[in-house]
């Protein structure tokens, strides 16, 4: 099966506290492996043998692989980024022509599940949905009085987790430069072509250094269980 890891961008909102830590989200470390290693390992365990990493030369030059799963490379120009939709379309030419579908994922989160049910939904498109924890404490008000306070609860609505499955014929219609999340999926959703697969386990997602530390701690706790 074919997969594309979307690992572009400098991700400067991840600010390392020591020279041993990376400022790039795909390269932040969890134990002896970085996020890209863990995503490659997970894809390999799910039967993906045709993987392309779409990223910048700066990220790729900083990446020291610690995964036995092989991959192809698509280098994006830093001064003219393709966006997630453009990167998937550009990487399509590097995928194995014998496979009809592509699994695409952003390099800013970790999930652990069997992808087959979601791939089966992709006719022609499916997205992974989950209920992550809110980054804020939620309250209920009775007039001006706070009656309940719930620190970082699970959200009530499903959100996209940045994992997608597409038929290759659909990818060919994507813009050369553009975003899956802003340009492609909102339009596709109006046509009824997008299926959602509900993921009801832990979501390890981060967009800041503080969130990265939280994810790292949660992974260490779950590993000990």
Residues 31-55 have pLDDT tens digits of 888 999 999 999 999 999 999 999 9
Residue 16 has pLDDT above 80, yes or no: no
Is 181's pLDDT higher than 90? yes
Nearest C-alpha neighbor of 203 from the set 132, 99, 144:
132
**The pLDDT of residue 9:** 57
Tell me the CA end-to-end span of the chain in Å, nearest whole number.
32
- Residue 177 in any domain: the answer is yes
Which residue would you say has higher pLDDT here, 197 or 131? Answer: 197
Domain of residue 115: give its range.
2-130+158-224
Work out the average pLDDT over 64-80. Answer: 87
212 located within any domain = yes
Band of residue 125 on the pLDDT scale cut at 50, 70, 90: very high
Residue 12 has pLDDT above 50, yes or no: no
Query: Nearest Cα to 36, choosing from 74, 14, 79, 69?
Result: 69
Q: Count other Cβ atoms within 10 Å, centred on residue 63.
A: 19
The answer to the question of residue 146 being in a domain is no
Q: Report the pLDDT value the prediction gives residue 170, as an integer from 0 to 100.
A: 97
**Binning pLDDT at 50, 70 and 90, where does residue 215 land?**
confident
Residue 53, in any domain of the structure: yes
Q: Is residue 149 part of a domain?
A: no
Residue 216 or residue 107, greater confidence: 107
pLDDT in tens, 154-175: 778 899 999 999 999 999 999 9
Q: What percent of the chain has pLDDT over 70?
A: 91
Based on the structure, what is the number of domains in the chain?
1
48 falls within a domain: yes
- Taking residues 83-111, report their average pLDDT: 94
Dihedral sign for Cα 6, 7, 13, 17, please: positive
181 assigned to some structural domain: yes
Q: Under a CB-based contact definition with an 8 Å cutoff, are residues 82 and 76 in contact?
A: yes
Please tell me the pTM assigned to this model.
Answer: 0.87
CA torsion through residues 132, 4, 222, 27, sign: negative
The answer to whether position 104 is within a domain reads yes
In the predicted model, is pLDDT for residue 62 greater than 90?
no
Q: For position 31, which CATH number holds?
A: 3.90.550.10
Q: How confident is the model at residue 119 (pLDDT cuts 50, 70, 90)?
A: very high
């Amino acid at each position: 099966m074919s997969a594309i890891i979307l690992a572009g961008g400098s991700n400067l909102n991840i600010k390392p506290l020591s020279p041993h830590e990376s400022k790039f989200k795909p390269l932040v470390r969890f134990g002896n492996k970085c996020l890209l290693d863990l995503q490659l390992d997970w894809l390999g365990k799910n039967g993906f043998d045709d993987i392309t990493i779409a990223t910048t030369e700066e990220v790729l030059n900083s990446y020291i692989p610690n995964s036995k799963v092989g991959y192809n490379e698509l280098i994006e120009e830093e001064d003219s980024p393709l966006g997630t939709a453009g990167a998937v379309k550009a990487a399509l030419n590097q995928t194995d022509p014998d496979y009809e579908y592509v699994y695409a994922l952003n390099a800013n989160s970790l999930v652990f599940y069997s992808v087959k049910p979601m791939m089966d939904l992709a006719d022609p498109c499916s997205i992974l949905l989950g209920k992550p924890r809110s980054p804020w404490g939620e309250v209920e008000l009775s007039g001006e009085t706070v009656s309940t306070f719930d620190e970082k609860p699970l959200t009530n609505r499903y959100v996209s987790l940045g994992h997608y499955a597409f038929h290759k014929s659909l990818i060919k219609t994507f813009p050369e430069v553009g975003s899956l999340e802003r340009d492609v999926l909102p339009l596709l959703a109006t046509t009824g072509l997008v299926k959602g697969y509900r993921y009801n386990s832990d979501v390890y997602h981060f967009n800041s250094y503080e969130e990265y530390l939280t994810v790292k701690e949660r992974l260490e706790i779950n590993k000990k269980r």
